[in-house]
Structure 1
Amino acid sequence: MTSAKLITGEQLARAAASDFRNFFLPLCGPTILIRVGSVQNPCIRSNKSGSFIVIPNEMAQEKIDNPDRLHFHLLILGHEIAHLVHMHLHGETLEAEDNSSLEFWADFYGAKVMMALIMFGEKVSQEYRTLQPSRVSFEQRVESIGNGVAMLKPYYNENKRYPLPLMRVSLSSIGVTSFLRQYYIGQNPSPGWMLTVQRKILLHPEHNDLIKFSSDQIKNFAAPIKRARRWHIKMQKRNDLAYNLNPRMRPYISPIFDESYRDMEWKRKKIYEELDELAVLVGEPDMFKSDQSRWSKPDIY
């Protein structure tokens, strides 16, 4: 492959924006505008015309020559798309904890957007197949995603307006797992694939220092989930876009928060059944038993 054939960060961003729009019903998807500017980090901005994503000049000009860089760019774009599609700039001024909960959600949802783009995006999947041949194993593919997540480490800020760094790594891992759980429905793979995702993303060598010195950062998922859910339910009274997602994409990237407690409990039960299978597989049958009691109705509402 010659450098002339390599896609740039700006081209990838525009391809991702186009593909994400096509995940919605015809003429109903969001018009995601991409702008390039002198910003330190990718972000969303808004003016009288609406919201748009701004990417730094360096990111826009970078030639993407391997799947690790592709995943890195898509994770960033997915995060910003999450902010945009959930109307995170349209609410009232946020308290630090509310802002952190929205960043929490953008990390999780953004990882699912990345997966949707490489699996189902017409333009992005073509670039992915160019850089990642079909003969590559599942473990190698997830390892590349883990490398992309590891590249995000310089972007993680330790302040109260953002989730803690190890929590953000965990959210990317959980987002990938959530997407693949839907993708594998009916295929009945061994639950060992979930362990592969954890090993290659959360336990990536680049995260060793976070795990060694900051392992207590992964705790209390309930609080930001409750805050994010409450905020999004309120905003969805004004967000018709959320209901225009193509039905085939809803299991993967639905932005709607209208599930009943009964449905959520059923899903929670299925997840822990799978985790218990995984625990048996690794020889620790009680690994997730103590966690299951944490998710009660007050934790969700």
Structure 2
Amino acid sequence: MSVTPAYTGRFAPSPTGALHFGSLLAALASYLDARSHQGRWLVRIEDLDPPREDPRAASQILHILEAYQLHWDGEVRYQSQRQPAYQQALEQLIEQQRAFPCACSRKQLAGRLHLGRCVVPAAQQQQQDFAWRFASGRGRCCFDDALQGHYCEQLEQHIGDFVVKRRDGPWSYQLAVVVDDADQQISHVVRGIDLIDSTIRQHCLQQALGYQQPHYAHIPVALEANGQKLSKQNLAQPLLPDDSGNTLWLALDWLQQAPPATLKNAGNQAVIDWAIDHWQLTALQGLRQQPAPAGRQRASNQLHPPG
């Protein structure tokens, strides 16, 4: 087993609803990669958008993580308590002329990327009726992903000048996650491939703010039987506590870890202990999507917890 003392990973869910099987896959992969390197694993609640949040979700998420023996290090961080840090980062970008006020509406953009449009004149900025956007520039932005290889996007074709603080007040996910990853010294990020486009945006911000970029590994997403991503929006079945170890066994099997059949009904701790000792991130190399196990999709399937 390789030892990387500086390894710090994290799981950062939004409290918009309960965790589902797709969420468990991301949490488990992140946790196992950290623990297999004898690293730290942090939990951060990305509670930046109160109108979309369920007031019960944060505590439910933490309860489910503990039930599946995914124990975190240190205190849980809540992004709602981090407003001054995000403001400081925005002011740095403004000073560097990498952020600008924008009054464009979605109707004005008409589905197009923002490329220097709708900049608010200085005389009108006192009205504060605008968003702040990051001036992403032009050209290619690339990074090396442990599972997906060398990944690039053309900024003016795929990214544009993206929002870092919304017109109605909340901070954007992109800015907040970059500031917190740097502050918490996150060295490795293991998450779903549906966020790989966000990684390009975050890489741009990390470069502008002078932050070190973590190592990334984007795991495949789990799909519904109809081909849609397993998600809260698609009414994925909420996870329930399952002490048998069977749900974790299914997750490990989906993650291509080949858990032995003898681990079924062995209990969550036994499954986690085996998984830490046998974790192979590279087993997911090149995979971008695959079906969720039968019965692990929509809430309408009326799944009961196994065993």
Tell whether the structures are fold-level matches, with TM greater than 0.5: no
Task: State the TM-score, normalized to the length of structure 2.
Answer: 0.24
More helix by share: 1
More strand by share: 2
